[in-house]
Amino acid sequence: MGLEYGTVSVKGKSHIDSNLPNQDYIGSYVIDETVILIAADGAGSAPLSDQGSKRVINKVLDNLKNVKDKQILNDPFKYEPLLKKIIIDSITELRNNLEEGKKEEFDIIKKKEINLKNLFLKPITKTVSFFSKSRPDQKEIIVQIDNQNNNDTVEIINEGDKIKDEQTSEMTKPKLSDYASTFLLVISSPLSIFTAHIGDGYIFGHNRQSDYDNQFVSLPRNGEYDNQTYFFTDDNWLENLIFDSRQEVFDLCIVLTDGADGFWVGSDRKSLHKPLLDNFLKIREKHSDKDLNTILENVFTYEKIITVSTDDATIGMVIR
């Protein structure tokens, strides 16, 4: 089959019931024989976490795509210091932009501006409609209103709207914590592997022909309590950003948010669940005519996800 990669993200039952968006997001990029997968899980308590998960992935992925020396991506173990710097600089810049309310190039929306004063200087008309039982067809009368002396009113309205806009903007200005999200990255190349991880979720590297003891895993990192984790928006995000790399080739890599770990993680919570992985690989071989995206979407449906979790569930996979 050669190199292939696929992703799936399923909105959880709790978010469907609450009419909330899927707060998970996943992005991918392939160059030559190297695949980059980045997943993020927005915090359920943060009102803009779905945007946060999308922004942090797009920011880091864009900067990795734009590196001038592509060799950095072909051997991530060798260039680990440079990759660390790209990721730290990317998240730092994003955090600053979010705090200042700046948009990224990928999410700028140009809005049409309306000049209120010009609107009032145009002739004002009023449409009056009436209905007659004897003539059921509706008639309209258009009445023009003189507006030559309306300049003072316009200035008052403009000033009032300016104050109102400033007050509303201050009240509704998002905080950095509103974008709270985890961050999971894996760069899988034919020469080595590199990972970066903030918060919960798992990243696995595995060689299918070897013993299950010979595998790479980046474990979830939670806070003091079981339901607490770390986010890229935290003040102490940098000390909770964990990097790792190995000068080893893994022919199977998996990245997943915590909503999907019920499928993939063994009872020890530190390794892959061997029966499920073996079964999935058999399905993959049986349907070799289909791409990996299709296989993942057909296997990990909403109906399957809700048997193990009500949360959003996201899976990314690379097979060599």
pLDDT tens-digit readout, 198-255 = 999 999 999 887 766 678 999 998 866 556 899 999 999 999 999 999 999 999 999 9
Residue with tokens 């190995």: 246
Confidence at residue 159, expressed as pLDDT on a 0 to 100 scale: 55
Confidence at residue 290, expressed as pLDDT on a 0 to 100 scale: 95
Confidence at residue 125, expressed as pLDDT on a 0 to 100 scale: 45
Where does residue 79 rank: exposed (0-12), middle (13-18), buried (19+ CB within 10 A)?
buried
Confidence at residue 226, expressed as pLDDT on a 0 to 100 scale: 58
Confidence at residue 311, expressed as pLDDT on a 0 to 100 scale: 96
Counts of helices then strands in the chain (DSSP H, E): 10, 12
24 touches 9 (CB < 8 A): yes
Task: Copy the structure tokens of residue 42.
Answer: 């927005």
Confidence at residue 156, expressed as pLDDT on a 0 to 100 scale: 44
Distance of CA 29 to the CA centre of its chain: 15
* In the chain, where the domains are located: 4-101+177-319, 116-172
| Architecture of the domain whose range is 4-101+177-319 | 4-Layer Sandwich (3.60)
Confidence at residue 165, expressed as pLDDT on a 0 to 100 scale: 53
Stretches where the chain sits below pLDDT 50 are: 108-143, 145-148, 150-157, 167-168
Where does residue 201 rank: exposed (0-12), middle (13-18), buried (19+ CB within 10 A)?
buried
- pTM score, two decimals? 0.79
Angle between helices 274-286 and 292-299 (to 10 degrees): 130
Confidence at residue 139, expressed as pLDDT on a 0 to 100 scale: 47
Where does residue 138 rank: exposed (0-12), middle (13-18), buried (19+ CB within 10 A)?
exposed
